[in-house]
Amino acid sequence: MGYAIELSGVTKRYATGEGQVTALDDLSLAAEAGEVLAVMGPSGSGKSTLLHLVGAMDRADEGTIRVGETEVSALSSRELPAYRQRIGFVFQRFHLLPALTVEDNVAAPVLPYRTGYDKHERARELLAAVGLTGKERSLPSGISGGEQQRVAIARALIGAPGLLLADEPTGNLDSATGAGIVQLLLELREARGMTVLVATHDLVVASRCDRIVRLRDGRVTDDAPVPKGRAPERVLEEISRLQPGP
């Protein structure tokens, strides 16, 4: 079952050589359990920071973040690893370990932990779910970029997460391969009931989601549902006002 997400008054600042930058500025945002939410905006708008805070890869300076029944912003350092195991992460760069087989890459996040399932059996099941049966013993260098991203998605699902965070998951792929990755994410959401938060520049990716939120300068400027039941070109036309500026 997917997790609901709620951010309230979230601010995140970073120190730079030229002073302090506010990446998120008193941001409030919510997503329903099982929703696929696209986060759009120009570079530097706060998209990646938002995902990093929800995934507890970084901490907010102010505000509260709740994922399911967990108040992420209140977790201690000792509690963070257990929380992160319940979240799946997919990035623009695949971050596969080149010396490990595809199957071992998928199993890698849970190898240090005791589990109630066979880790490699689950890895093989997930590879089948993302269409990579027969590639289990391949090395990352021996498969295509689209296949590498499918491996990364399978790896993100190894812990049966209630939330999948995808940061520009199609950014390094051609349009046809990227469309296949988006379709795969939607099918996995339907099959597993996950909530999915996607940071993207791509309107075609966003048009497949349930809702689009646009950020600028760390604040929400637009929040709109994606029209359903219409021709794809009409959907793109209707949401084109959310096209990120420079």
State pTM to two decimals.
0.88
- The tokens for 221 are 């400027």
Per the prediction, the chain carries an average pLDDT of 89
Residue 230, pLDDT score: 66
> Using alpha carbons only, how large is the chain's radius of gyration in Å?
18
Average pLDDT over every residue of 66-77? 94
**Secondary structure (DSSP) of 28-45:** EEEE-TT-EEEEE-STTS
Residue 246, pLDDT score: 45
For residue 16, pLDDT over 50 is answered with yes
The Cα 101–Cα 104 span in angstroms is: 5
The Cα 158–Cα 125 span in angstroms is: 10
Residue 155, pLDDT score: 94
Average pLDDT over every residue of 26-40? 95
pLDDT > 90 fraction of the chain, expressed in percent and rounded: 61
Could you tell me the strand order of the sheet in which 19-31 lies? Answer: 19-31, 5-16, 62-67, 70-71
List all residues 6 or more positions away from 178 whose beta carbon is below 8 Å from its beta carbon: 170, 202, 204, 205
Assign domain 34-54+87-242 one CATH number from 3.30.450.40, 3.40.50.300, 3.90.199.10, 3.20.20.70: 3.40.50.300
What are 131-156's pLDDT values in tens digits? 999 999 999 999 999 999 999 999 99
Of the candidates 199, 217, 219, the one whose C-alpha atom is nearest the C-alpha of residue 209 is: 199
**Which is more confidently placed, 190 or 53?**
53
What are 169-193's pLDDT values in tens digits? 888 888 888 888 888 888 888 888 8
The Cα 119–Cα 125 span in angstroms is: 10
Three-state helix/strand/coil letters over 86-145: CEEEEECCCCCCCCCCHHHHHHHHHCCCCCCCCHHHHHHHHHHHCCCCCCCCCCHHHCCH
